[in-house]
Amino acid sequence: MLFFTQCFGAVLDLIHLRFQHYKAKRVFSAAGQLVCVVNPTYSLKYAPTRCAAVQASTEQGTLPPCHHHEVVHDPQLVPCTCPLFSCPWEGHLEVVVSHLRQTHRINILQGAEIVFLATDMHLPAPTDWIIMHSCLGHQFLLVLRKQEKYEGHPQFFATMMLIGTPTQANNFTYRLELNRNQRRLKWEATPRSILECVDSVISDGDCLVLNTSLAQLFSDNGSLAIGIAITTSKVHSSEAEM
């Protein structure tokens, strides 16, 4: 009976996922966009992270104590950029994508325009939805987070991070679009570098911010579809033509 119950539950989960994917394809197939169904993951790292500790210590005029395991001998090494976990991994920027895919099982989708379909938006905060987007020869990390910036008032924060340097990030523009029930909402900005802290981007509000009521206007049965498009910036394009 236990085996049957577990198998039956897995089958129901698979049917639910396929149904969500079918609905998304039915809505966005006319636009020729790829759809990625993203399930939520509870963040396991809401203990003080390294970037949060450094930021707090800097504001107080002190530096955190130095431990041997935190010393970075190679300045080219970067910490794990996955916002879900306090991962101790460090490595070169070129292998960040491999680490995210192999260790944290983050999916990657290719295409100029894709649809990010986040399921189970009703779950309590903090919750994250994450995918990688491969486009224009680079990889981007899309992070959607449900978080209580003020107690009792959860909000949704969506941002795009380039897995590259800040100089490279300035060459691109990303657009996030929500479109449902004759309503359309767009956010367009330059992506931030993954070398910056995702938590800082969200706390600064330099991203798409939705309160609960606004998110419900664009959601469909607890799922939120976000259209994603990435282009090269006009400045970068003009320089290439010259």
The 3-class secondary structure across the chain, one letter per residue, is: CHHHHHHHHHHHHHHHHHHHHHHHHHHHHHHCCEEEEECCEECCCCCCCHHHHHHHHHHCCCCCCCCHHHCCCCCCCEECCCCCCCCCCEECHHHHHHHHHHHCCCCEEECCEEEEEECCCCCCCCEEEEEEEEECCEEEEEEEEEEEEECCEEEEEEEEEECCCHHHHCCEEEEEEEEECCEEEEEEECCEECCCCHHHHHHHCCCEEEEHHHHHHHEECCEEEEEEEEEECHHHHHHHHC
Cα 136 to the chain's mean position, in Å?
Answer: 18
> Which of residues 84 and 70 earns the better pLDDT score?
84
- pLDDT-wise least confident of 18-22, 135-139, 187-191: 18-22
109/142 Cα distance (integer angstroms): 11
- pLDDT-wise least confident of 50-54, 57-61, 187-191, 203-207: 57-61
**pTM exceeds 0.75, yes or no:** no
Residue 1 has pLDDT above 60, yes or no: no
Average pLDDT over the chain, rounded to whole?
Answer: 77
Average the pLDDT over 28-37 and give the result: 60
> Which of residues 7 and 49 earns the better pLDDT score?
7
The pLDDT of residue 35: 81
160/131 Cα distance (integer angstroms): 10
The pLDDT of residue 53: 41
95/77 Cα distance (integer angstroms): 10
Burial 144-175 (b: 16+ CB within 10 A, else e): bbbbeeeeeebbbbbbbbbbbeeeebbbbbbb
Residue 31 has pLDDT above 60, yes or no: no
The pLDDT of residue 149: 80
The pLDDT of residue 235: 53
- The CATH fold assigned to 31-40+77-232 is 2.60.210
Residue 126: asked if its preceding bond is cis (omega within 30°), the reply is yes
> Which of residues 42 and 225 earns the better pLDDT score?
225
pLDDT per residue over 103-148, tens digit each? 888 888 888 789 999 999 999 998 999 999 999 999 999 999 999 9
**Side chain identity at residue 93, one-letter code:** L
pLDDT per residue over 139-183, tens digit each? 999 999 999 988 888 999 999 999 999 999 999 999 999 999 889
Cα-Cα-Cα-Cα dihedral sign, residues 160, 50, 212, 121: positive
> Which of residues 220 and 63 earns the better pLDDT score?
220
Residue ranges covered by each domain of the chain: 31-40+77-232
pLDDT per residue over 219-239, tens digit each? 999 999 999 999 998 654 444
